[in-house]
Amino acid sequence: KAAACLIRPDVAERLPPAVLALVTDQPYRAFAKALFLFYPQAGWPLVTGPTSAPIGGPIHPTARIEDGVVIEPGAVVGAEAEIGRGTRIAANAVVGYRVTIGRDCFVGPGARLIHCLVGDRVIFHSGVAIGQDGFGFAMGPQGHLKVPQIGRVIIQDDVEIGANTTIDRGALNDTVVGEGTKIDNLVQLGHNVVVGRHCVIVSHAAIAGSTVLGDFVVVAGCAAIAGHLKIGTGAQIAGASAVLDDVPPGKKVAGIPARGLKQWAREQASLRRLAERSRSD
């Protein structure tokens, strides 16, 4: 359905006849430049508001705050932000421009929330960073051109996010954390990651951009999941594993690279026996 497509000359002939070919040797770099034309302020995050917004002190006068909200000393609430009843914003936290937070939430001390929409009963522990730019660059011999990030982070109800965890905003689409998911300290979610409902992600896990997790997925500590993968509902990733391929629903995987848990256990047992035999020789 596209009207035009940035495309390399060697594959331009594959386009449907109705699509205009914008021929370039570096389509991704051209795409980054085009995004800057459409979104000239996207080169840096909007924290408290656009430059044209009036200065309003720590709590911007355009912010909409329901009764029963507690905002502790040092917290900043940006322009057009919305905070629901019963929510507490702890000392030195930042609630950015147009961020929406539901009811009965807790935003811990030093947490930073920008470019995000948050449901009800969500807990952010100290130092959480939500909605910063993902790692997007058009790389090349003439330097690495920043690709503007224009998506958001959507966090559904009853999510809990541990201290110093970072969740990047979407590049084009949104990054999503599903209802009831629990995320430990020091976890990294890249841009456009989609996490299903009631998942558990343990500390030091890292999930690269555009990977999709189904519901009730468990990712143990220090596991790493490559980008653009699909992790099926109920799958379990063992600690310190490196997932490089899709994981079917209900599958348990372990190791580097990750494979079936039983296979990994047999391999480890075989290596142990081989090592013991070598010592005895």
Hey, what long-range contacts does 104-110 have (CB within 8 A, 24 or more apart)? 108/163, 109/72
Query: CB–CB of 114/94 below 8 Å?
Result: yes
State which H helix or E strand residue 273 sits in.
Answer: helix 261-280
* 191 annotated active-site: yes
Q: Strand order in 224-225's β-sheet? A: 76-77, 94-95, 112-113, 129-130, 166-167, 188-189, 206-207, 224-225, 242-243
Q: Pick the catalytic residue: 60, 115, 125, 191? A: 191
State which H helix or E strand residue 36 sits in.
Answer: helix 27-38
Please state whether the peptide bond connecting residue 73 to the residue before it is cis, i.e. omega within 30 degrees of 0.
no
Single-letter code of the amino acid located at 233: T
One DSSP character per residue, 244-264 reads: -S-B-TT-EEETTTTEEHHHH
Pairing between strand 236-237 and 218-219?
parallel
- Centre a 10 Å sphere on the Cβ of residue 205 and count the other Cβ atoms it contains: 25
- Centre a 10 Å sphere on the Cβ of residue 281 and count the other Cβ atoms it contains: 5
Q: CA–CA separation, 43 vs 281, rounded Å?
A: 63
Query: CB–CB of 171/177 below 8 Å?
Result: no
- List beta partners, residue 213: 195, 231
- List beta partners, residue 208: none
- Rounded (5°) CA angle 66-160-105: 10
Q: What sections of 6-117 are H helices per DSSP?
A: 27-38
Which positions are annotated as active-site residues?
A: 191
